């Protein structure tokens, strides 16, 4: 590495006191050491986190074993705990949010990077970045006061009227439930997808576009067939960044999902997510098994995130093998 090369040039015997001082004074070694330590701290924190979750969930793991993942009962009185409804709720709300947010976010990013005049693009991007910084409780309030009533009076009935033959859109519609939570999450996730995707699209080299245009492609063809495939890896990354936020979101979800731990096909039905139940019940949980079951839910959430991230890596590797961008 260049760093080692310059270091050996400057100091023939690196660990004698004076040489070390000089190297420290130059700054390279210090930077190397400090960044190394910080990088390790991140890993250590993650490892400690998993260790603590594992340690403190002992009572629940011992009591329920693998049934914890499959059981549908969550009964703090009889101390029967199962994570299935929460895992289901977490996955369904995240999936709904991505189904809404990905087309929206991608289209907006393409417009902002490829089609919009630069000054308009910059202004809008600034506003979108602001949106990404809004605290989640605000989105929760937006959900309660605007989306829940809309869902009950307009969106819900309209979906029932048009797609009511699907089991997804049947049953009573209270305004709160999987679909509402998914919509609120989509609003929270979209800014991430737009912001990162736009940056990635802007880094696609100009000659790629010019080459496509020179071959007779229209502007849209060059965008869709050349620019977007080139930026595919970065766009996938932005989607998974959004997914990570959706999976772990607590406040906004618990305010609009109905908090009922059941596995139901209907998206109108109330549900529950892992993050929401931990936030709701942790402070008042008494008893060893109850507390450790909540902590094991945290472990489950961590593992789900890990699995999703692994899948994301696989997806990126698979698409890269498919050709296109090196």
- Residues near other proteins (CB under 8 A): 73-78, 144, 148-149, 152, 172, 174-176, 254-255, 258-260, 270, 272, 276, 279-288, 291
CB of 69 to other proteins, least distance (A): 18
Distance CA 125, CA 201 (A): 13
Q: Which residues contact 164 (CB under 8 A, 6 or more apart)?
A: 170
Which residue's CB is nearer to other proteins, number 258 or number 298?
A: 258
Exposure class string for 183-204: b at 16+ Cβ within 10 A, else e: bbbbbbbbbbbbbbbbebbeeb
Strands, E assignment, the chain: 74-75, 80-81
User: 64 and 71 in contact (C-beta within 8 Å)?
Assistant: yes
Q: Which is nearer to other proteins, 52 or 218 (CB)?
A: 52
User: Nearest approach, Cβ of 155 to other proteins (angstroms)?
Assistant: 15
Cα–Cα distance for residue pair 23/28, rounded to 1 Å: 7
DSSP state of 80: E
> How far from the centroid of its chain's Cα atoms is residue 14's Cα?
45
Q: Rank residues 191 and 270 by Cβ distance to other proteins and give the closer one.
A: 270
Shortest separation between residue 291's beta carbon and other proteins, angstroms: 8
Place of tokens 């914890």: 68
Both structure tokens of 9: 């040039």
Distant-in-sequence, close-in-space partners of 28: CB < 8 Å, separation ≥ 6 = 3, 6, 7
Nearest-approach distance from CB 267 to other proteins, in angstroms: 15
Beta pairing partners, 74: 81
Could you tell me if residue 204 is left (phi over 0), alpha (psi between -120 and 50 degrees) or otherwise beta? beta
Name the residue nearer to other proteins (CB basis): 201 or 256. 256
Name which of 255 and 301 has its Cβ closer to other proteins: 255
Nearest to other proteins of 197, 254 (CB atom): 254
Minimum distance from CB of 67 to other proteins (Å)?
A: 16
Minimal distance in Å, beta carbon 270 to other proteins?
Answer: 5
Reduced to 3 states (helix: H, G, I; strand: E, B; else coil), residue 16 is coil
Any bridge partners for residue 81, and if so which? Answer: 74
Q: Which is nearer to other proteins, 207 or 284 (CB)?
A: 284
Taking the least distance from each CB to other proteins, the nearer of 2 and 286 is 286
């Amino acid at each position: 590495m260049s760093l080692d090369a310059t270091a050996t040039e400057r100091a023939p015997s690196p660990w004698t006191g004076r040489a070390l001082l000089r190297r420290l004074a130059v700054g390279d070694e210090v930077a190397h050491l400090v960044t190394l330590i910080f990088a390790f701290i991140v890993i250590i924190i993650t490892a400690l986190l998993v260790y603590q979750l594992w340690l403190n969930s002992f009572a629940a793991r011992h009591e329920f074993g693998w049934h914890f993942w499959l059981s549908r009962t969550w009964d703090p009185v009889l101390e029967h705990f199962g994570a299935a409804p929460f895992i289901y709720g977490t996955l369904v709300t995240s999936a709904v949010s991505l189904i809404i947010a990905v087309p929206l976010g991608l289209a907006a990013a393409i417009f902002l990077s490829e089609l919009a005049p630069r000054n308009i693009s910059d202004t809008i991007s600034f506003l979108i970045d602001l949106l990404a910084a809004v605290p989640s409780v605000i989105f929760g309030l937006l959900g309660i006061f605007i989306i829940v009533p809309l869902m009950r009076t307009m969106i819900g009935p309209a979906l029932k009227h048009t797609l009511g033959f699907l089991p997804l859109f049947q049953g009573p519609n209270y305004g709160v439930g999987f679909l509402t939570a998914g919509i609120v999450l989509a609003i929270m996730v979209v800014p991430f997808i737009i912001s990162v995707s736009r940056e990635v699209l802007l880094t696609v080299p100009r000659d790629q576009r010019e080459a496509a245009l020179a071959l007779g492609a229209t502007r849209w063809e060059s965008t869709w067939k050349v620019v977007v495939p080139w930026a595919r890896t970065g766009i996938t990354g932005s989607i998974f960044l959004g997914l990570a936020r959706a999976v772990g979101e607590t406040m906004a979800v618990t305010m609009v999902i109905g908090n009922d731990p059941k596995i139901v096909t209907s998206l109108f039905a109330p549900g529950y997510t892992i993050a929401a139940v931990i936030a709701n019940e942790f402070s008042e949980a008494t008893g060893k098994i109850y507390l450790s079951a909540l902590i094991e839910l945290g472990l489950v959430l961590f593992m789900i995130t890990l699995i999703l991230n692994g899948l994301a890596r696989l997806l990126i590797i698979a698409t890269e093998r498919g050709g296109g961008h090196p």
